[in-house]
């Protein structure tokens, strides 16, 4: 009897311990890669940004669908065409307890251009800013170089640092190396820094001074796990609570597994085919003499018509893609509703168009693709090549490791290539300007336009849109520009990649279109 | 003897020099690191600024000579990606790999040598045949598959061992070690087993072959005829003579594993330096790749040297050769 009692007591104690360790809520996340640095202003890169935004807040934060929402700025308004005023929250405090003031914001903007060796500098988001000043303790005034409607989406990428904590003897204050050691990592965000061991766990804990709703997690652990199978195994064994990018082949099984749940975000990364339209001839199309068939709109239309986008999204992408005919999903800014659905595949019409353009027997073409840069990229390209071949255009795939692919693309060695564009602003103008704007690298126009599509009318529309402050008018201009490119088949959209997370049962994630994994948006469903 | 060591070191520098040229030219031919680093939205001015900051605007030979000059002073450059000194990045990750490999190699020697001797002593017995079949499986199954199967078995179904990461570490001076904690051993168990199994299979085969070769020798027969105890024959006469091939193979395998434990490391998310090398190659982070390979060449040369010195300690005839 005694024995039974002790056993009972022991198991009760065990149960209690079990519940206790559960109530100490920790969240372990298996991430694809670790940040290249903890310096919030070092590198514009998803693994860095998602860690930064757990500890730091921007003035304006994008919500999961990329709509700007107030964060440290309660409200904002343009006071003239080039001047904006941001009113700061008065209750916002840094994790060390000190209050947020306009000086911290000014310091933050000052530091950005001073950070040395940055692989992708945050000046990307401050190009248009002429001046940042403190109007009073809780008002920040930002002056742009010219009327600039995208200021709000740009500053949503800029985490606000603490002037007191991030100052230092170096020109930039605390250096990147110091930040990597955890010094100066004082933000207003829901979590604060605990420790980081390179290549292993990055640990954060709840920030008791957070101005918003206190975070649900005592501790958050980011664990870099580059191998997708290893992430999946760790999630199945309970080693981690959440993983980024489950392998597409396992996804069906994950969705039916009673111990797991899956979260999907609207995708904003558009996978597209670019076609060489620079002139004649084109390097990847042999046997056509000096002619480049892609200069003919009918040929481009035929290539688009012969792609079965739905089949690719379902079978090659395992359902983590949305087939589309547009460059940005609805209801994001500038997307065209009528273009959202994938155009129906019509091989017969494609063949007729090719014959009409003078290629009744088709032609040969090489389709370039990176291998391993985007989800199933080479397999998607192979499928498209097979579809083109069925329509009469004998396509061969040239798959290359990403650095080799980008080098070849930048040297214009492809007649057609598959690539993808991640839109982090939820707004059409950056996409159009980079992908189909006339190539003028010094102006930042056409930076990813490897097909060298050029349409002066389109450039004029984009210029006009970027100087239009009225949202409604700008939206119409962008929709018009989008429609213009797509009906000219200047670029061929294929599908949006859908960012996916897998979590243990009982957790939910407000999946973000920008692919950030933010612990504050992970909730226990209880 | 000192002449022998100095010769070896000179050879090492030669190898390092040739290798660094190859890596430099190779990575240069693959592509432009800035295209991997910079945001696709960046303007040409921003790209140029980055190229200049990283020194990539110079010609490849100027870049190489600058590198040689700095390397001579112990500076291997900063990682393009993180901005940190390349050498520091590698050294930070080194203890994890070395620890993993030492445990795996110890396991493989402790398991492989006794099993190999067993199989060599009685080659016809069913137990020996079982050992040999097992060893074939051991080194023909791919490493990552064994790793994933072990995870499925021990972490997912049985739930007794963790599937990833390094576990609790204790700092000994600047080095963080996980072999000093129970949690650390739990985390170490599966990756070390994965890495160790294939090595153990190899040790079995080497030991068996050596045993079979030594057994018919006159000195073993003589020892038997003299009426020595079988245990003495085994421990002294046999073991001493089969040690040379075992040390050779163990030494080479140890170096191999240190430099290229990457498969095991990525399956178990082990924060070692193998993963660093692969990541750096993908992002064309040349300073890290070059520094890593230089360290590894150096390390392998030293390791070979140690193996040779061990030979001389064990085998008098090797000592004679050097003296000639």
Neighbouring C-alpha atoms within 13 Å toward the C-beta of A503: 22
Range from A158-167, A382-391, B69-78, B162-171 carrying the lowest mean pLDDT: B162-171
Find which of A32, A200, A240, A274 to mutate to test the B interface (most B CBs within 10 Å of its CB).
A200
Q: Do A36 and B156 touch (CB under 8 A)?
A: no
Closest-CA residue of A relative to B284 is A403
Interface of A with B in 120-149 (CB under 8 A): 120-121, 123-124
CA distances, B264 to each of A235, B68, B195 (Å): 18, 33, 7
Q: Is A257 on the interface with B (CB under 8 A)?
A: no
Q: What is the mean pLDDT of the segment spanning A365-381?
A: 92
Q: For position B323, what pLDDT does the model report?
A: 60
**Of A3 and B249, the one with more pLDDT:** B249
CA–CA gap between residue B176 and residue B185 (Å, rounded):
14
Q: For position B199, what pLDDT does the model report?
A: 93
Q: For position B305, what pLDDT does the model report?
A: 85
Q: For position B174, what pLDDT does the model report?
A: 74
Q: Could you report the per-residue pLDDT of A406-436, keeping only the tens digit for each?
A: 888 988 999 999 999 988 788 899 899 999 9
Report whether pLDDT(A184) > 90. Answer: yes
Are A67 and A268 in contact by the 8 Å Cβ rule? The answer is no
Q: For position A60, what pLDDT does the model report?
A: 96
Residue identified by tokens 């100027």 is: B62
CB count, 10 Å around CB of B196?
A: 26
pLDDT band at B324 (very low <50, low <70, confident <90, very high): low
Q: Which two tokens stand for residue B200?
A: 């153990």
Q: Could you report the per-residue pLDDT of A106-131, keeping only the tens digit for each?
A: 999 999 999 988 888 899 899 899 99
Q: For position A54, what pLDDT does the model report?
A: 97
User: How many interchain CB pairs under 8 A, A with B?
Assistant: 156
Q: Is B259 on the interface with A (CB under 8 A)?
A: no
pLDDT band at A24 (very low <50, low <70, confident <90, very high): low
pLDDT band at A394 (very low <50, low <70, confident <90, very high): very high
Q: Could you report the per-residue pLDDT of A130-171, keeping only the tens digit for each?
A: 999 999 999 999 999 999 999 999 999 999 999 999 999 999
Query: Kindly report the CA angle at A189 between A183 and A192, in degrees rounded to 5?
Result: 40
Mean pLDDT of chain B: 87
Q: Could you report the per-residue pLDDT of A239-273, keeping only the tens digit for each?
A: 999 999 998 888 888 999 999 999 998 888 999 99
Report whether pLDDT(B246) > 50. Answer: yes
CA–CA gap between residue A67 and residue A471 (Å, rounded):
13
Q: For position A197, what pLDDT does the model report?
A: 86
Q: Which two tokens stand for residue B285?
A: 């982070």
Q: B235-241: which pairs have CB atoms within 8 A and are 24 or more residues apart?
A: B238/B117, B238/B211, B238/B214, B239/B117, B240/B314, B241/B210, B241/B214, B241/B217
**Of A270 and A444, the one with more pLDDT:** A270
Report whether pLDDT(A305) > 60. Answer: yes
Q: Could you report the per-residue pLDDT of B55-77, keeping only the tens digit for each?
A: 888 888 898 999 989 988 888 88
Contacts of A176 in chain B (CB under 8 A): 83
Q: Is B311 on the interface with A (CB under 8 A)?
A: no
Q: Do A227 and B269 touch (CB under 8 A)?
A: yes
Q: What is the mean pLDDT of the segment spanning A366-393?
A: 94
pLDDT band at B51 (very low <50, low <70, confident <90, very high): confident
Q: Could you report the per-residue pLDDT of B96-143, keeping only the tens digit for each?
A: 999 999 999 999 999 999 999 999 999 999 999 999 999 999 889 988
Mean pLDDT of chain A: 90
Residue identified by tokens 């704007």 is: A437
HEC profile for A287-343? Answer: CCCCCCHHHCHHHHHHHHHCCCHHHHHHHHCCCCEEECCCCCCCCCECCCHHHCCCC
CA–CA gap between residue B316 and residue B318 (Å, rounded):
5
Q: For position A361, what pLDDT does the model report?
A: 92
CA–CA gap between residue A404 and residue A410 (Å, rounded):
10
Instruction: From B8, B23, B9, B16, select the one nearest B281 (Cα to Cα).
Output: B23
CA–CA gap between residue A303 and residue A354 (Å, rounded):
9
Q: For position B43, what pLDDT does the model report?
A: 75
Any bridge partners for residue A83, and if so which? A143
Residues 6 or more apart in contact with residue A256 via CB below 8 angstroms: none
Q: Do B159 and A223 touch (CB under 8 A)?
A: no
Are A507 and A261 in contact by the 8 Å Cβ rule? The answer is yes
Q: Could you report the per-residue pLDDT of A428-437, keeping only the tens digit for each?
A: 998 999 999 9
- In this prediction, the answer to ipTM > 0.85 reads no
């Amino acid at each position: 009897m005694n024995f039974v009692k002790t056993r009972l007591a022991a198991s009760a104690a065990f149960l209690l311990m079990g519940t206790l360790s559960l109530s100490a809520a920790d969240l372990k996340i298996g991430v694809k890669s670790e940040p290249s640095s903890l310096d919030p202003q070092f590198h514009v890169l998803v693994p860095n940004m998602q860690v930064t935004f757990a500890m730091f807040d921007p003035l304006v934060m994008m919500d999961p669908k990329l709509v700007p929402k107030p964060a440290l700025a309660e409200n904002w308004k343009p006071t003239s065409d080039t001047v904006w005023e941001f009113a700061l929250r008065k209750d916002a405090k840094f994790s060390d307890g000190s209050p947020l003031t306009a000086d911290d914001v000014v310091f933050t903007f000052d530091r950005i251009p001073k950070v040395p060796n940055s692989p992708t500098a945050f000046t990307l988001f401050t190009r248009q800013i002429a001046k940042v000043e403190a109007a009073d303790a809780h008002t920040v005034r930002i002056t742009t170089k010219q009327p600039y409607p995208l200021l709000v989406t740009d500053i949503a990428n800029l985490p606000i640092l603490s002037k007191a904590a991030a100052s230092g003897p170096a020109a930039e204050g605390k250096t990147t190396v110091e930040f990597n050691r955890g010094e100066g990592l004082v933000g207003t965000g829901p979590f604060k820094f605990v420790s980081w061991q390179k290549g292993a766990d990055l640990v954060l804990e709840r920030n008791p001074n957070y101005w918003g709703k206190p975070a649900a997690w005592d501790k958050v652990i980011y664990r870099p796990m580059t191998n997708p199978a290893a992430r999946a195994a760790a999630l199945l064994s309970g080693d981690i609570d959440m993983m980024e990018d489950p392998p597409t082949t396992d996804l069906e099984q994950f969705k039916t597994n009673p111990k797991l749940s899956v979260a999907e975000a609207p995708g904003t990364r558009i996978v597209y085919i670019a076609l060489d339209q620079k002139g004649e001839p084109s390097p990847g199309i042999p046997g056509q003499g000096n002619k480049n068939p892609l200069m003919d709109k009918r040929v481009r239309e035929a290539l688009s018509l012969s792609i079965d986008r739905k089949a690719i999204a379902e079978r090659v992408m395992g359902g983590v893609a949305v087939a589309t005919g547009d460059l940005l999903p609805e209801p994001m800014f500038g997307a065209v509703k009528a273009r959202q659905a994938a155009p129906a595949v019509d091989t017969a019409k494609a063949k007729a168009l090719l014959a009409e353009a003078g290629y009744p027997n088709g032609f040969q073409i090489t389709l370039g693709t990176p291998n391993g840069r985007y989800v199933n990229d080479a397999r998607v390209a192979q499928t498209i090549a097979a579809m083109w071949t069925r329509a009469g255009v004998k396509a061969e795939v040239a798959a290359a490791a990403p650095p080799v692919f980008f080098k070849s693309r930048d040297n214009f060695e492809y007649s057609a290539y598959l690539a993808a564009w991640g839109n982090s602003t939820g707004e059409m103008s950056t996409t159009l300007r980079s992908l189909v704007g006339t190539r003028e690298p010094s102006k930042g126009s056409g930076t990813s336009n490897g097909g060298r599509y050029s349409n002066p009318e389109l450039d004029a529309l984009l210029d006009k849109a970027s100087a239009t402050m009225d949202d409604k008018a700008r939206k119409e201009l962008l929709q018009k520009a989008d429609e213009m490119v797509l009906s000219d088949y200047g670029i061929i959209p294929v599908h949006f990649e859908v960012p996916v997370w897998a979590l243990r049962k009982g957790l939910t994630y407000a999946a973000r279109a920008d692919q950030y994994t933010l612990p504050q948006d992970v909730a226990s469903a209880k | 003897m000192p002449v022998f060591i100095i010769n070896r070191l000179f050879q090492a520098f030669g190898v390092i020099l040739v290798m660094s040229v190859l890596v430099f030219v190779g990575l240069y031919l693959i592509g432009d690191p800035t295209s991997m680093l910079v945001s696709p939205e960046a303007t040409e001015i921003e790209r140029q600024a980055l190229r200049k900051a990283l020194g990539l605007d110079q010609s490849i030979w100027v870049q190489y000579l600058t590198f040689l000059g700095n390397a001579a002073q112990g500076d291997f450059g900063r990682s393009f990606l993180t901005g940190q000194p390349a050498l520091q990045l590698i050294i930070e990750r080194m203890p994890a790999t070395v620890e993993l490999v030492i445990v795996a190699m110890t396991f493989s020697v402790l398991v492989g040598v006794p099993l190999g001797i067993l199989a060599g002593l009685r080659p016809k017995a069913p137990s020996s045949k079982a050992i040999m079949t097992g060893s074939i499986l051991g080194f023909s199954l791919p490493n990552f598959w064994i790793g994933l199967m072990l995870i499925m078995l021990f972490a997912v179904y049985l739930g007794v061992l963790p599937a990833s990461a390094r576990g609790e570490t204790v700092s000994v001076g600047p080095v963080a070690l996980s072999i000093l904690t129970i949690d650390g051993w739990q985390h170490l168990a599966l990756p070390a087993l994965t890495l160790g199994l294939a090595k153990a299979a190899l040790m079995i085969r080497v030991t068996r072959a050596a045993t079979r070769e030594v057994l018919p020798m006159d000195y073993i027969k003589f020892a038997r005829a003299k009426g020595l105890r079988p245990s003495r024959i085994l421990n002294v006469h046999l073991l001493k003579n089969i040690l040379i091939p075992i040390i050779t193979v163990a030494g080479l395998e140890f170096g191999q594993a240190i430099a290229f434990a990457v498969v095991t490391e990525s399956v178990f998310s082990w924060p070692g330096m193998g993963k660093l090398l692969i990541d750096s190659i993908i992002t064309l982070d040349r300073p890290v790749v070059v520094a890593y390979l230089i360290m590894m060449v150096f390390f392998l040369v030293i390791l070979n040297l140690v193996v040779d010195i061990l030979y001389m300690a064990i085998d008098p005839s090797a000592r004679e050769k050097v003296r000639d």
